[in-house]
Amino acid sequence: MSLCYQCGKCSAGCPVRYYMDIAPNKVVRLIQLGYYEEALKSETPWLCAGCLTCSVRCPKEFDLAKFMDAVREIAIEKGVEVKQENILKFHKAFLDQIKNHGRSYEVGLVAEYKMKTLDLFQDVDSAPGMFLKGKLDLLPHNIKNRKEIKSIFKKTSGKK
Amino acid sequence: MKYGYFPGCSLTSSAKEYDISLRKVIDKLGISFDEINDWSCCGATSAHVTNHKLSTALAMRNIMLAEQQGLDNIIAPCAACYNRLIISQNEIGKHSGIRKETEDLLSVKFKKDIKVFNILELFLKSGINKIIENRKRELSELKAACYYGCLLVRPAAITKFDDAEEPESMEKIIEATGAGAVDWNYKTECCGAAHSIARRDIVVDLSKKILDDAITHGANVMVVACPMCHTNLDMRQRAMKRKYPDHKEFPVLYLTELIGLSLGMDEKELGIDLHYTNFKYADTLLNNSAKG
Amino acid sequence: MKIGVFICHCGENISSTVDCPRVADVCRGYSGVEYSVDYKYMCSDPGQNLIKNAIHKYDLDAIVVGSCSPHMHERTFRNAAVSAGINPFMVEIANLREHCSWVHDDIEASSRKAIELMRMAIEKVKRDKPLTKIKVPVTKRVLVIGGGIAGIQAALDTANAGYEVVLVEKEPSIGGHMSQLSETFPTLDCSQCILTPRMVEVHQHPKIKLMTYSEVERVEGFIGNFKVTIKKKARHINEDKCSGCGMCITKCPIKKKAYNSFEEDLAFRPAVYVPFPQAIPNIPVIDETVCTYYKTGKCGMCLKVCDREAIDFAQKDTMHVADVGAIIVATGFKLYNIEKKSGDSKYKGYGEYGYGKYRDVIDGLQFERIASASGPTSGEIKRPSDGRVPKKIAFIQCVGSRDDSKGISYCSKICCMYTAKQAMLYRHKVHDGEAYIFYMDIRAGGKMYEEFVRRAIEEDKVKYIRGRVSRIYEEDGKYIVKGEDTLAGMPVEIDADMVVLATAMIPQDGAESLARTIGIPYDKYGFFNEAHPKLRPVESTTAGVFLAGACQSPKDIPESVSMASAAASKAIILFANDTLEREPVVAKVNEDICAGCFYCMKVCPYGAVEVKDVKDMNGIVYKEVAYINQGVCQGCGTCTATCLSKSIELAGFNNEEIFAEIAAL
């Protein structure tokens, strides 16, 4: 954490910088100064696309993308209200498919996501196309050892 | 040469054509795959952005299966899967705590150092000469913008096969097919990745910039090696058209599809018709396929 | 032998954990000890008098002092002994402070350890032999390596003190980087105008022998007595005949084959050239790699036009030997470049700034040439790619410096100042131009430096943006510079016509191999190490070798000049004596048992071991043995430890003495 000297190169190269409420380097700064709540409440970690541009260009070799992973994980753990709630709902819906089937199941994912967000109309243009092109299977690809996957989820979901 | 194969979820659904074309191409080039039995999702973006332990365990489960199956290496054609696998592998290699935690979760001891290769490494290692030998179709009309996206070459300290800022391995493969490659700016800019559904607006803006830069630099086709990039750059062109009415449809191919074309396969065979955008050169190309 | 023992309390430094009176008591009982005493401050005047009086009163032959480290006061106690008539090498120090009281807290245990340390020293002193210092003559001539501003200053100062100087410069002319600069901060005076008089002075000085286009090949010997071999590269021009008329240069048909390195590759030069019009000496060089004559044997245009018959295609490199007493190293710096580096390079390039593929993304020295009245654009600010006047320039600081990921962690120190100057010059020359500077911190410590930076901001309206740039790419002939203003917390994109990178100063090519040739240490970047960072900043750890300028660390002109004058004065101090005294702690070979394996020669870090022929009565060589040059030997003992036949002894630390110490434990 003390590695960061606040040069801002991460923010300068961040592809989603324009959509963020505060700059990525500022999230680091807030945590350096002990303003954890402010940092955890920010939308920035949720908008981070994990593209690693910041990490590969950081002059101090600070892995900011991984740091953002940690911030999000702590925010979930602490139950901080996530302003970019759709993004979190998407991730949850995605992981639910894996938990149940072992692989991603796009129909289930989209259905669950839409139930959660009540955003029923987005993507209506692409889904039928995907069906027509035979890309969306109506049934999930279940793996055999779903028990193992469920157990991994169970063991890793406990409060630390 | 025989490789372990980890298709990843996308290649069984939204990126079916990537799987189809890859299998056709390697078959033609005399490479064979041994698919990992009962493989599961690598955890993708959703796991690593919310639960580090879970993401490492999900990725390493597949490495574990490969080891149990007696494989030495794995080809992960999806750039995101590739990235999750090598990063998880690197983490358990570097941090004994994470290694132990993951081994306990999976009730296994990792012994072998299984090499995870991406699609570019596959062709660089055992494809370039064979592509040149088996070339059947003239592709010189094509000017490809090679799009690496974020996860194929980053972080370079771990991926260790190409430059993170000015990569050129895909261009080498493209040249082997006889197509041309343009020099452009957005080779490694992010398309918005996993925000495709929850923040489509961001994906549309970022992908639009990428396509525009390719066009500005004289490309007539974009070549990708990542299902997530393909979804954003291909499927999202409809939403792009709504937001930017003057947007002109631009074809986006998987690398394997382009290789397939050069090897004389047709559009349908390779699943190119499954794209949202039309590959407008296909007809003319198929017409002059008589070379071989 | 009568031995005196003196135990120092060092205030409370020793006595708080060592029972000093008890140690003195116990020592009094050892055989050979005539007198033993403890005292609060042995290094004080009364303490020293205590030693001197005891020597007289008890007629002592040797003394052992239990005190602080010998690094602190060995010399003090030796001097006291000498003034009382004892040989200084009959004095042993037992380190009761750093090795005992400071590192333990149990009084009983540390007192016992102190007694052991004293007993060891007593046993050693019993076997010590009186030694006399070695005297070596001094050659009062200095070698200056590097003809930039630091080398020029050092050469002039030494020569003006009346000593001879050999000034070696690897380029065809002296002047160094300073001759490339446009104007200098913080006064904005013209760099060449203040430099060229100095260059002329060097050239005309009767005490300075100037050797340009030359390199140091080998350095042998030691302080006061170095023997230096210098390679004078073939210019293919007879220096005695050439008048510097420049006809050969004008008529050379090769016009665009070689980049002009003085112009930082922004222009071409002919195959026969002088680096710049004010070059000293004003004698051209023929570049074999591009000259047609060397490729085809034809052309010879220069030969035809030279009416003094100075062209000499057959000229070869020549070797010259110089005897000097001191060496001043002033090899300077070069700039890091952003190009892609090979895997074995210490540094990485900047792919995010295009690895140098954009022609209008230039470095600081290139901008100096563009801004210089004598440069390729005659001082007009123009883009290298198309010659257009840039209306917007982005300057980026800390490129390659303060960047661990590229391999350089240090601050390059002068870039804040020269970037402010360059932005200012640009604003003076292009009135409607906009200058942006991306910076991380502004480091303007220096006389009138901060004021200078403020002037750039307040009067010349240079816009400073605090943030590192993440990426540069070309779009429609503009360079898109992606940054973040970390003060405003806002992303910034500048569509600049030109980008100037303030790239880091790094050591000159070949700095490390030169350091190995001379035998001086260097840091991980290749900068030469000073002997002490605070108190001996211009000396290397090798006696008689001094450092000046940016070869030691990044420096600006005033600092380089100060350091050069300091290095010159160090050489002059050395020359104040006709002979040098050296410590007699040197190794000596027992020639009777030396097997001539020469392992000692391989391990000696100072090159002090030579081969000596041993002859029989008829003068016939019957074996070769190792011989240690006492002037070069530094007494490190490596050869002694390595010698398989145990035939090397280090005076003052011979085997008998060391074994006696161990046996006393």
What is the pLDDT at residue B193? 83
Which tokens go with C475? 């779009």
* Beta-carbon separation of C340 and B164 below 8 A: no
Nearest C-alpha neighbor of C520 from the set C263, C329, C385: C329
Q: Convert C12-46 to b/e letters by CB count within 10 Å (16 or more is b).
A: ebbbebbbbebbbebbeebeebbbbbbbeebbeee
**Percentage of residues in chain C having pLDDT higher than 70:** 100
Q: Which CATH class is domain C333-506?
A: alpha beta
Can you tell me the distance from the alpha carbon of A13 to that of A10, in angstroms, rounded to the nearest whole number?
Answer: 6
What would the pLDDT profile of A8-39 be if each residue is shown by its tens digit? 999 999 999 999 999 999 999 999 999 999 99
* Beta-carbon separation of C351 and B185 below 8 A: no
- Give the strand pairing for C333-335 and C505-507: antiparallel
Can you tell me the distance from the alpha carbon of C387 to that of C367, in angstroms, rounded to the nearest whole number?
Answer: 14
Can you tell me the distance from the alpha carbon of B99 to that of C518, in angstroms, rounded to the nearest whole number?
Answer: 50
What would the pLDDT profile of B93-125 be if each residue is shown by its tens digit? 999 999 999 999 999 999 989 999 999 999 998
Q: Does domain B137-291 have CATH number 3.90.230.10?
A: no
Can you tell me the distance from the alpha carbon of B181 to that of B146, in angstroms, rounded to the nearest whole number?
Answer: 7
Neighbouring-strand partners of residue C434: C392
B1-5, C139-143, C605-609: range with highest mean pLDDT: C139-143
Can you tell me the distance from the alpha carbon of C467 to that of C454, in angstroms, rounded to the nearest whole number?
Answer: 18
Question: B146 in helix, strand or coil?
Answer: strand
What is the pLDDT at residue A132? 65
* Beta-carbon separation of C467 and A5 below 8 A: no
Fold of B2-119: Glutathione S-transferase Yfyf (Class Pi); Chain A, domain 2 (1.20.1050)
Can you tell me the distance from the alpha carbon of A140 to that of B41, in angstroms, rounded to the nearest whole number?
Answer: 13
* Beta-carbon separation of A57 and C405 below 8 A: yes
Other CB atoms within 10 Å distance of the CB of residue C432: 7
Can you tell me the distance from the alpha carbon of C4 to that of C27, in angstroms, rounded to the nearest whole number?
Answer: 9
C208-211 β-sheet, strand order:
C208-211, C164-168, C141-145, C326-329, C545-547
Q: Across the interface, which of C340, C355, C473 has its CB nearest the CB of B185? A: C473
Q: Are C278 and C199 in contact (CB under 8 A)?
A: yes
**More confident call, B242 vs C607:** B242
Can you tell me the distance from the alpha carbon of C405 to that of C445, in angstroms, rounded to the nearest whole number?
Answer: 26
Q: Pick from C350, C353, C405 the residue to mutate for testing the A interface (most A CBs within 10 Å).
A: C405
On the CB side of C557, how many CA atoms lie within 13 Å of its CA? 24
Mean pLDDT score of chain B: 91
Fold of C587-663: Alpha-Beta Plaits (3.30.70)
According to DSSP H, which parts of B217-275 are helical? 227-230, 237-243, 255-262
Other CB atoms within 10 Å distance of the CB of residue C617: 5
Can you tell me the distance from the alpha carbon of C379 to that of C97, in angstroms, rounded to the nearest whole number?
Answer: 65
* Beta-carbon separation of B165 and C351 below 8 A: yes
Residues of A with CB under 8 A from a CB of C: 5-14, 17-18, 22-23, 25-26, 53, 57-61
Neighbouring-strand partners of residue B34: B4
To the nearest whole Å, the CA of A27 is away from the closest chain C CA by 11
* Beta-carbon separation of B274 and A148 below 8 A: no
Can you tell me the distance from the alpha carbon of C560 to that of C557, in angstroms, rounded to the nearest whole number?
Answer: 5
- Of A43-57, B150-164, C448-462, the least confident: B150-164
Cβ-Cβ contacts under 8 Å for C450 (sequence gap 6 or more): C444
Q: Are C273 and C262 in contact (CB under 8 A)?
A: no
What is the pLDDT at residue C86? 95
What is the pLDDT at residue C128? 95
Question: B235 in helix, strand or coil?
Answer: helix
Can you tell me the distance from the alpha carbon of B227 to that of A26, in angstroms, rounded to the nearest whole number?
Answer: 32
Is residue B196's pLDDT more than 90?
A: no
* Beta-carbon separation of B40 and A141 below 8 A: no
- Give the strand pairing for C285-286 and B180-181: unpaired
Phi then psi dihedrals of residue C428, to 5 deg: -70, -35
Confidence of residue B290 (pLDDT cuts 50, 70, 90): very low
Chain A hits for B58, CB-CB cut-off 8 Å, are: 98, 149, 152
Can you tell me the distance from the alpha carbon of C365 to that of C375, in angstroms, rounded to the nearest whole number?
Answer: 11
What is the pLDDT at residue C658? 93
The residue type found at B106 is L
With tokens 């079916």, the residue in question is: B16
* Beta-carbon separation of B48 and A50 below 8 A: yes
What is the pLDDT at residue B283? 63
For residues C226-233, average pLDDT: 97
What is the pLDDT at residue A120? 64
- Give the strand pairing for C434-439 and C392-399: parallel
Q: Across the interface, which of C403, C470, C492 has its CB nearest the CB of A13? A: C470
Interface of C with A in 412-471 (CB under 8 A): 440, 466-471
Determine contact: B90 vs chain A, CB below 8 A. no
Domain ranges of chain C: 3-127, 141-233+317-330+510-575, 247-305, 333-506, 587-663
Mean pLDDT score of chain C: 95
To the nearest whole Å, the CA of A152 is away from the closest chain C CA by 37
Confidence of residue C237 (pLDDT cuts 50, 70, 90): very high
Cα angle, residue B188 at apex, residues B182 and B193 outer, rounded to 5°: 125
Contacting subunits of A (3+ beta carbon pairs below 8 A)? B, C
Neighbouring-strand partners of residue C95: C67
For residues B130-155, average pLDDT: 93
- Of C516-525, C538-547, C578-587, the least confident: C578-587
Chain B hits for A72, CB-CB cut-off 8 Å, are: 49-50
What would the pLDDT profile of B20-60 be if each residue is shown by its tens digit? 999 999 999 999 999 999 999 999 999 988 999 999 999 99
What is the pLDDT at residue A106? 83
According to DSSP H, which parts of chain A are helical? 9-13, 24-32, 36-41, 44-47, 53-57, 64-77, 85-101, 106-117, 126-132, 146-157
Domain ranges of chain B: 2-119, 137-291
Chain B hits for A73, CB-CB cut-off 8 Å, are: 50-52
Q: Are C564 and C153 in contact (CB under 8 A)?
A: yes
Phi then psi dihedrals of residue C495, to 5 deg: -95, 85
- Give the strand pairing for C285-286 and C272-273: antiparallel
Q: Does domain C141-233+317-330+510-575 have CATH number 3.50.50.60?
A: yes
Q: Are C333 and C554 in contact (CB under 8 A)?
A: yes
Q: Are C582 and C132 in contact (CB under 8 A)?
A: no
What would the pLDDT profile of C628-638 be if each residue is shown by its tens digit? 988 788 899 99
CATH of domain C3-127: 3.40.50
According to DSSP H, which parts of C99-253 are helical? 107-127, 149-160, 191-204, 247-251
Can you tell me the distance from the alpha carbon of C68 to that of B239, in angstroms, rounded to the nearest whole number?
Answer: 81
Can you tell me the distance from the alpha carbon of C339 to that of C351, in angstroms, rounded to the nearest whole number?
Answer: 8
* Beta-carbon separation of B10 and A104 below 8 A: yes
Q: Are B92 and B99 in contact (CB under 8 A)?
A: yes
Nearest C-alpha neighbor of C594 from the set C558, C554, C555, C623: C623
Q: Are B120 and B162 in contact (CB under 8 A)?
A: yes
Confidence of residue B282 (pLDDT cuts 50, 70, 90): low
Chain B hits for C355, CB-CB cut-off 8 Å, are: 165-166
* Beta-carbon separation of B163 and C475 below 8 A: no
* Beta-carbon separation of B193 and A113 below 8 A: no
* Beta-carbon separation of A59 and C404 below 8 A: yes
To the nearest whole Å, the CA of B218 is away from the closest chain C CA by 13
Determine contact: B16 vs chain A, CB below 8 A. yes
What is the pLDDT at residue C344? 87
What is the pLDDT at residue C124? 96
- Of A52-61, B195-204, C262-271, the least confident: B195-204
Nearest C-alpha neighbor of B148 from the set B99, B181, B176, B196: B181
Can you tell me the distance from the alpha carbon of C648 to that of C627, in angstroms, rounded to the nearest whole number?
Answer: 10
- Residue-by-residue pLDDT tens, chain A, 160 positions: 899 999 999 999 999 999 999 999 999 999 999 999 999 999 999 999 999 999 999 999 999 999 999 999 999 999 998 888 889 999 999 999 999 999 988 888 888 888 888 766 666 666 666 666 777 777 888 999 999 999 999 999 864 4
What would the pLDDT profile of B218-236 be if each residue is shown by its tens digit? 999 999 999 999 999 999 9
Nearest C-alpha neighbor of C355 from the set C367, C342, C364, C344: C342
